[in-house]
Structure 1
Amino acid sequence: MAGVYRASRQWERIIRQWVTEEAAVDLTHFKSERPNHKMSLWDPEVNGVRYLKTLVHNLATTLDPDDWARLRRTGRREVGDPVAVRWHGMQVCLDYLQATLEVGFIERSVDLRAARVLEIGAGYGRTCHTLLSNHDVAAYCIVDLRSTMRFSRGYLRAVLDDVQFAKLRFVPVEDMDVGHALSGIDFDLGININSFAEMTPDTVRCYLDLIDRRCAALYVKNPVGKYQDRSLDGHVEGDEARWRAMETGPLRQVLDIHDDQAVRAAVPGFLAAYRPSADWSEVADAWAVPWSFYWQAFYRRKRPGAAADRPDD
């Protein structure tokens, strides 16, 4: 039939506005610009949620049966209206996808039955929620800023049952000396996920000293370094926010965070920076999916029970 082969009205508009004759003259950057965003690639600046859901969907296909079992045991994950997808009938978001992987990594290196856990910087509590839903720990202590603790206390009260919530202790850093508050209490496991990199180096050292005195094992998941790539976020929060971010954490070297060789080269520095003292050794370490420049490590004291031998400040 004559006249069937023609552009749709949608594409007539795209041709008129973006895929123009002028745009085809210089192809130097076209794959990162609007013409290609209309021809073959969704614009990441305006399709962030689409890409986030795609990431979660693809990661969900990699989870093993143990990962899904942890998620099933972790109820009320829908609280807070997360950006989520469904895979095999189960809702999953990026936060809890990471949490099931974190807990899976931890439980391969330590027996969590009746364990006493110290988490420094718990965010809103996703890892705590997942760990308590899957293991019968004796106690779980959260040390955090008071402002963040408003979220974790409220969220964990909403998602945990009374027995689980009763195991929690909240220690706001502004209200008391943390070392004094935890004096005489030994923990089987310390946890830090993504917050050491946002503290001053002196604060990180204080926490590592505390872990050295009070914990028998440590799980840490943080970036291996910093980045200055403006294309990733447009530096939308301004130069002051960027400068302040560059001042934090023990690892402040700038690297190409999407170069796997550059990330791998930074791993020895990561392992050394988060080892609490010479009395500790790495039991396991690995790339922390999905972020290209995050690493995770599990450390254990070389002499079991030695935490009690070290005096408090």
Structure 2
Amino acid sequence: MTPQRSNPDTMRQDLGIMFAALAAGPEVYQPSKFWEQLNEQNVAQLEARGLGNFKRTLAQNYFTWVVGVRSPLFQHLAAAMTASDWRRVMWGLPMFSRESDLGLRRFYENQIFTRMVWIVAERVDRLNVMKSLQEPAFGNPFRIFFEGRLISQDLANSVIEMYAILEAHMPAPNDAFTVCEIGAGYGRNCFVFRSFFKHCKYIIADIPPALYVSQAYISEVLPDAKVMQFREFSDFSEIAADFAEADVVFLLPHQAALLPKKSVNYFVNISSFHEMNFAQVAHYFDMVDELTSGNFYLKQWTSFFNARDKMTISASDYKYKNSWHRIYDRTPSTHPSFFEALFKIN
């Protein structure tokens, strides 16, 4: 299945195959009411504006936020800026452009906020990963240039998250290791990992339409990567050969459960466990425990009310395995309403 960014009929057909395969899977992997509603919105946005504009539509349902100056998140980052930081942030701000899809005030708030996130990411970038990174043009990102480079919130946050994921053990650039991310959005973390760690195998396990979008995106922005695209299978032996050869693998969540035990070095979930019910979170923790020989990173809202499913999940509600060793549990530098935690899985 090869995503076609310019063919709506092919997109509908491919999405239909993915949704049918998801519906045929076990109940525990089915989307919550929250995600059923969000998926309807995401598909409508894809059909209305296409893959070519997803960074202006779907991405804002994931982790790209147009944050106003009155927002606690904006104020949190502003308080972290030094005088020299502010000179960099304000220098060379562009003329307002209607192409941005934003009004005048939101345009400048988005420019300033994104530059602040970028500066915070630079502070942790001891390997200088960001020097070789630029926001890919595919998806029509907001045109935010900073010191001669196209940047984004997502690129900066993915660098920050990469260091958090690898904090307990930083692989060498040429090391081979495997990352599995449940709920990867459009694949922003995969792009950063594979851009720096050329021998990293990255597994994206997600539901459509996110799985469809991430598959299209990664195939476009990492053209040299060997991609194992989504397909239906019921036993790992059916895909073992292709899986072994692949750099990036795309699966539905119930397919990820079929991976060999202890085959993942880093298991990741960012901002989606709080949108599931408690039974689903517990099931995914079982999956993490079974598949991971290494570390598990999660980053979630400290407290999140899911109105569609009529439930609230807070940081204290996550029931970790007694056998897991907690490396840290803290507030992320750029998102004070979130928590992030890293565990060593025995």
Q: State the shift of 1:212 in Å.
A: 0.7
Structure 1: state its 5+ residue gaps: 1-31, 33-43, 228-241, 252-265, 304-313
- Residue 217 of structure 1, aligned match among 275, 289, 295: 295
Return the letter of the residue paired with 2:168.
S
Match of 2:123 in 1: 64
Give the counterpart letter for 2:150 in structure 1: Q
Shift of 1:185: 5.3
Structure 2: how far apart are the matches of 1:161 and 1:54?
32
Equivalent position SS for 1:129? helix
Distance 1:147 1:163 in 2: 22
Quote the Cα distance in structure 2 between the aligned partners of 1:157 and 1:177: 20
Q: Is 1:135 aligned with 2:197? A: yes
Q: Deviations over 1:106-136 (max 9, x none)?
A: 2222244211111101100001110111123
Q: Is the 8 A contact 2:124 2:160 kept in 1?
A: no
2:325 alignment counterpart: 281
SS of residue matched to 2:303:
coil
Alignment of 1:67-146 (within 5 A): 69-74=128-133, 77-112=136-171, 113-146=175-208
Aligned residue in 2 for 1:188: 265
1:244 aligns with 2:244: no
Q: Kindly tell me: are residues 75 and 60 of structure 1, through their superposed partners in 2, closer, same or farther at Cα, counting changes over 3 Å? A: closer
Identity of paired residues, percent?
22
CA distance in 2, matches of 1:97, 1:48: 20
Task: Answer yes or no: is 1:48 the counterpart of 2:128.
Answer: no
Separation in 2 of the partners of 1:56 and 1:245? 32
1:11 aligns with none
Find the counterpart in structure 2 of residue 298 from structure 1. 342
Deviation at 1:94, TM superposition (A): 0.8
Q: TM-score, normalised by structure 1?
A: 0.63
- Cα distance in 2 for partners of 1:220, 1:139 equals 19
1:222-245 per-residue CA deviation (whole Å, 9 max, x = no partner) reads: 111026xxxxxxxxxxxxxx6216
CA distance in 2, matches of 1:46, 1:197: 34
Q: Could you tell me whether the CA contact under 8 Å between 1:218 and 1:300 is conserved in 2?
A: yes
Which protein is bigger by CA-based radius of gyration? 1
Structure 1 residues 258-290: Cα deviation after superposition (integer angstroms, max 9, x where no partner): xxxxxxxx6xx27xx163x11112112332232
Please name the residue that 2:230 is paired with: none
Where do 5+ consecutive residues of structure 2 fail to align? 1-69, 71-101, 228-245
The verdict on how the C-alpha distance between 1:106 and 1:164 changes in structure 2, with shifts beyond 3 A counting, is farther
After superposition, the Cα gap between the structure-2 partners of 1:65 and 1:217, relative to the gap in structure 1 and judged at 3 Å, is closer
Q: How many residues align?
A: 223
Give the 3 Å change call, closer, same or farther, for CA 138–51 of structure 1 in structure 2: closer
**AA aligned opposite 1:204:** V
Contact (CA 8 Å) 2:329, 2:342: kept in 1 or not? yes
Distance across 1 between alignment mates of 2:277 and 2:124: 39
What's the C-alpha RMSD, in Å, of the aligned pairs? 2.8
Matching residue's letter, 1:195: S
Corresponding residue to 2:284 among 204, 207, 210: 207
Does the CA contact (< 8 Å) of 2:135 and 2:151 recur in 1?
A: no
Question: Which structure has more RCO (C-alpha within 8 Å, separation ≥ 6)?
Answer: 2
Q: Aligned pair in 2 of structure 1 residues 70, 164: CA closer, same or farther (>3 Å)?
A: farther
Q: Is the 8 A contact 2:181 2:268 kept in 1?
A: yes
SS state at 2:289 partner: helix
Distance (whole Å) between structure 2 residues aligned to residue 206 and residue 185 of structure 1: 16
Q: TM-score, normalised by structure 2?
A: 0.58
**Residues 76 and 159 of structure 1 are in contact (CA less than 8 Å); yes or no, is this contact kept in structure 2?**
no
Map Cα deviations across residues 141-186 of structure 1 (whole Å, 9 max, x no partner): 111103211100000001113235431111113xx5542x224452
Distance 1:50 1:219, change over 3 A: same
Q: What is the identity, as a one-letter code, of the residue corresponding to 1:83?
A: F
For the residue of structure 1 that corresponds to 2:219, the secondary structure is: helix
- Separation in 2, partners of 1:205, 1:300: 17
Distance 1:163 1:286 in 2: 34
